Amino acid sequence: MKRTVHSNFSLRAIGSISIAFCTLGVLSAQSKELNIPSLSQASLTPTIEHVKFFSPESEQSSKKIARNGILVRYKDASATILVAHGYMCDKFDVGFLRNMFPQGKYNFLTFDFRAHGEDTQGQSCTLGRDEALDVITAAKFIKNHPALKGKPLYAYAFSMGAVATIEAQAKDSTLFDALILDCPFDSTENILKQCVDNLKFSIFGYEFTVPGKSILQKYAFHPYVQSLIKILLQAVKKIPQKKIETNVFPLSPVQSIVKVSVPCFFIHCKQDEKVSIAAIKSVYAGASGPKMLWLTNGRNHYDSYFYNPEGYIEKVSQFLDQVGVGKWKNAKEQRIIEDTDDLARIRKIS
């Protein structure tokens, strides 16, 4: 496995570094009173590794395909987070997610799924089926890394990445200690149908639905139909569209999640145009371990973070903190949180 290591490299912008140093000063001043050990500068300085690992091309093939990743690790990190991106994203697009967490607390691995990012020749995206093999390989890479082995491993995954992570954990229950799953779909059949349902076109400001939807839905797995609707599957609207070779197969995360018993935190936008509330609730209901579902006021697919970053960071961090101290172990622990409608809240305040 190839590793290129860069030391003493800061991931934060200058302003963020200043804030971190100011915070460090406050922590240091309060450490005697609270008996909290002061964080050393060395523990806040990341080591960056550009890594390469090799995933099976498919479950039936002995051929391997190279996947590239960026491993960010800290001297005193308590755990590692594997970040699994969505459709049409790559490891660089999701680098900002590292900033959700306190610097130095976690290590991170972001990587390219097959057909995404670097080394894509001859590869196809399967919207989660074969990407599960990439997740398994990435997780095992972390577990065998000399500086990371033995530490808890969490997954933060969204959209296609969340589906691939569910499939991976269902295949190997030893991979992760907890999962954060933002907007996974319940089945490829349903998400393709949902995308077809949302097909519209506009002429002179007037919006029309596309005729022949029933035919498109019937042949949703046909390559010609997939080439038409794959643009609608893009996980993050803020990221420019990329040419991704795509070949979608029938897949049912709602059935696979039954085999997942580790703590799961599901996040979903109530206005998600790709995955319905009924779909995410069915996935949540199927998880066999302790679980929580947060229904947010996000405006579209994978928008919870962008819509309310402060609340998002707080809830995600709190969940991992609780997992880290031994909570969320009872399979009977289940919780659904739904955000109050913004307009209703505004009316109440006024």
- Dihedral angle over CA of 269, 253, 238, 95, nearest 10: 110
- Least confident range from 22-36, 89-103, 127-141: namely 22-36
Write the pLDDT tens digit of every residue in 141-181.
999 999 999 999 999 999 999 999 999 999 999 999 999 99
Partners of 83 in beta bridges: 110, 156
Q: In 3D, which of 117, 69, 115, 70 has the Cα closest to residue 90?
A: 117
What pLDDT was estimated at residue 1?
54
Task: Find the mean pLDDT for residues 223-231.
Answer: 53
Phi, psi (deg, nearest 5) at residue 82? -90, 125
DSSP-derived pairing of the beta strands 64-73 and 3-6: unpaired
The encoded tokens of residue 34 equal 């609270």
What is the pTM for the complete model shown? 0.79
Domains by residue range for the chain, with CATH = 46-186+242-349 (3.40.50.1820)
pLDDT at 230: 54
Task: Summarize pLDDT for 282-316 with one digit per residue, the tens.
Answer: 999 999 999 999 999 999 999 999 999 999 999 99
Most confident of 120-124, 263-267, 326-330: 263-267
